[in-house]
Amino acid sequence: MPRSDEAEMWFSAVYKAVQEVPYGRVTSYGHIATLIGYRGAARQEVALQQEGVQIEHSNMGERSVDLGTYGWFPNHLPSEDSENENGA
Quick one: three-class SS letters along 21-81? CCCCCCCCHHHHHHHCCCCCHHHHHHHHHHCCCCCEECCCCCEECCHHHHCCCCCCCHHHH
Q: What is the pLDDT of residue 20?
A: 96
Q: What is the pLDDT of residue 43?
A: 75
Q: What is the pLDDT of residue 54?
A: 96
- Mean pLDDT, 10 residues at a time, the chain of 88 residues: 76 93 90 81 83 91 90 90 64
Beta-carbon count within 10 A of 65 CB: 16
Instruction: Give the total number of structural domains in the chain.
Output: 1
* pTM (whole model) above 0.75: no
Cβ–Cβ under 8 Å, residues 74 and 82: no
Q: What is the pLDDT of residue 84?
A: 63
Domain of 81, in residue numbers: 5-85
